Amino acid sequence: MIALDPGTLVPLYIALGGIVLYVVISRIPPGYRRWSGTLTALWLAAAFLYLLLTILESPPSPGTPYLGLTCGLLVTGLGGLAAFASQGNLDPDGPVRFYYPLCLFALAGATAVGFATDLFTIFVMVELSALPIYALVAYRYREDKNAVPAAMKYLVQGVSGTLTALFGVSVLFLAGKTTDLSSLPGALSGTSPVVILLAAVLILLGYGVKLAIVPLHSWLPDAYALAPPGVTAIMVGATKTGVLVALFLSLTALPSGNGTIFVLGLIVTFFALVTMTAGNLLALNQKDLRYILAYSSVAQMGYILLGFGMGLVYDFPFAFTAGLYYTIAYSIMKGGAFMAADAFSWEAGTTEVEGMRGIGARHPLLGIAFVIFVLGLIGVPFTCGFLGKLLLEQAGMATSLMSGVVLALILAVNSVVSLGYYIPVLSILMFSAPAVAPVAGPVRKKAVLSRSVLFAVVVLAIVTVYLGLFPESFDWITHAAGQLTPWGLV
């Protein structure tokens, strides 16, 4: 179960916020409900500051829950900005009283994953973070009739992944008679490697649905594109990070020395290569900015999984650090990119890239922030995206094996392929003259650019640059990655 230390009380605090906000929002007049985003952001800001003070004051000892603290900082920070960005962008006559509480419940589950020490607790927390998102994806059903089908697709595939992961957890429990992560490696030492590998693959595929690894990714484009921007930011950063940590934290239960971890690493690496390549190729043919970002998210997950895959194959802890760092960098950059893209689409009245000609130049602050996110996702220096990809490249090269070098080269080639859709987007949004004729595609009523969105996007852009310039300020990421590899890789 989750240990009762100060850090693990944060998920309970966040979940309590969901209940409190539901009561408060239900009782206030609709005219004041637009401030619900501020209340949610302040609630999460308190949790963020508490986690930050805890991680700064904690001595560098093995007992410090760096993994939970690091994930908690990402979840609460990004979640707070996403909640604030949603302020004023939601219909006050709609079900706002459900929106923010559901967001908090999802964030509570994602935060709790990093502190969990029990296989079944990890599974339950992942589901706690997923269930509210299923409903939130359909929140815009009044504005877009496709939102409900997108939510249903995510629900059906998500439940399938849930059952698959549960089967894997059950196999490990039946074999080891316990679900405690620290006890399972010893309890499974005499179990057949085939049984252990079967359970591990089931867990990988189950959580892989929620991570949208190819070919289990078909739910993601519609869900990311049709959900409210705050929800998408939470999905790409908070809940996806929670699932990723859940996957590899669950795999720490596997015993070492029987070849299972090596084989599993090969499987993870294979999925990583397929995912990054397919995601980039699919993004090349998209005309809708939301779908370009959605398919590129598939590719980004491939980059992330490659780091963890190399760590498993080569017994290389540095690769885990690279994977976790890029997870954090991706969450920040892609969360901000989706918020900015949605602001562009509302102001332009369309989600098609062609209909947004010159919009970045007309809104320079938002445009510059979006450029920073895209350059980071490409891997341009002075951004956390560049440093994340550099760490992944170094991990492949440092193996001193031809296979590791080849993996690093494949990642580099995929980064080059991504230029095929990122550069045209930047060119159209920042340097093209405004469109004269209306563009075919989804059209929205033009709206005034929200200051709350602008604030959230600018903050994330600043963090993107700061993490790229001063990564040594967050050395606890290395400690957090080490807690994902307790079976002898560190």
**Mean pLDDT of all residues belonging to the chain:** 86
* 3-state secondary structure (DSSP) of residue 114: coil
Give the total residue count for the chain: 490
Which of 11-20, 83-92, 156-165, 190-199 has the lowest average pLDDT?
83-92
pLDDT at 486: 54
| pTM for the structure as a whole | 0.91
Q: Domain limits of the chain?
A: 314-490
What gap in Å lies between CA 372 and CA 453, rounded to an integer?
Answer: 16
Token pair 């992942």: residue: 126
Retrieve residue 488's tokens.
Answer: 């002898």
Bond prior to 215 in cis (omega within 30° of 0) = yes
pLDDT at 348: 82
pLDDT at 45: 94
Percent of the residues in the chain that have a pLDDT greater than 70, as a whole number: 91
Q: pLDDT at residue 425 above 50?
A: yes
Could you read off the pLDDT of 116-170 as tens digits, one per residue? 888 999 999 999 999 999 988 988 887 778 888 999 999 999 999 999 999 999 9
pLDDT at 62: 64
Could you read off the pLDDT of 196-225 as tens digits, one per residue? 999 999 999 999 999 999 999 899 899 988
Could you read off the pLDDT of 29-59 as tens digits, one per residue? 777 777 888 899 999 999 999 998 888 876 6
Q: pLDDT at residue 24 above 70?
A: yes
pLDDT at 3: 44
pLDDT at 65: 84
Q: Binning pLDDT at 50, 70 and 90, where does residue 16 land?
A: very high
For residue 466, what are the contacts with CB-CB under 8 A and spacing of at least 6? none
pLDDT at 489: 40
pLDDT at 448: 47
Segment 179-185 shows an average pLDDT of: 87
Percent of the residues in the chain that have a pLDDT greater than 90, as a whole number: 45
Our measurement of the distance from residue 309's CA atom to the centroid of its chain's CA atoms, rounded to an integer in Å, reads 18
HSE, side-chain direction, 13 A CA sphere, residue 74: 38
Q: pLDDT at residue 485 above 60?
A: yes
**163 close to 121: Cβ distance less than 8 angstroms:** no
Per-residue burial over 233-258, b if 16 or more Cβ lie within 10 Å, else e, is bbbbbbbbbbbbbbbbbbbbbbbeeb
